[in-house]
Amino acid sequence: MKLSPSASSGPVVYGIPNCSTVKKARGWLEANGIVYTFHDYKKQGVPVAELQTMMAAQDWEPFLNRRGPTWRKLDAATQSSVTDAASALAVMQIYPSVIKRPLLIFNNRHWLGFSEDAYAAFFA
């Protein structure tokens, strides 16, 4: 795997290494010769400042993966406590697997999730 020397010089992919969608995204980047940095939520933590910035610029709900197994395993009180960006971020910090992934950041732009067409357009 190629890694960029610093996050500012290339794209950063945020996620969890065993996530199948993250694996597809990383494979696409590598197949297209795009040097990137991988940020593992579980080992390196949640990028709070980046998420706050993005959630302030758009709706916070797309960042929360309510369809995944981690969300479904949360107790009802925790799930119902998520009502805004601040409460969503608090839950994301405790349970990083509830963050939709991968999150790609490059040149002050971001993309959430993965599709080959979307990545091709993002890097065009």
Which active-site residues does the annotation give?
Answer: 19
Q: CB within 8 A of 112, min separation 6: which ones? A: 62, 63, 100, 101, 102, 103, 104
How does strand 37-40 pair with strand 12-15?
parallel
H-state helical runs in 14-81? 20-31, 41-44, 48-57, 69-73, 76-81
CA dist 111 and 71 (Å) reads: 21
The DSSP element (H or E) to which 117 belongs, if any, is: helix 116-122
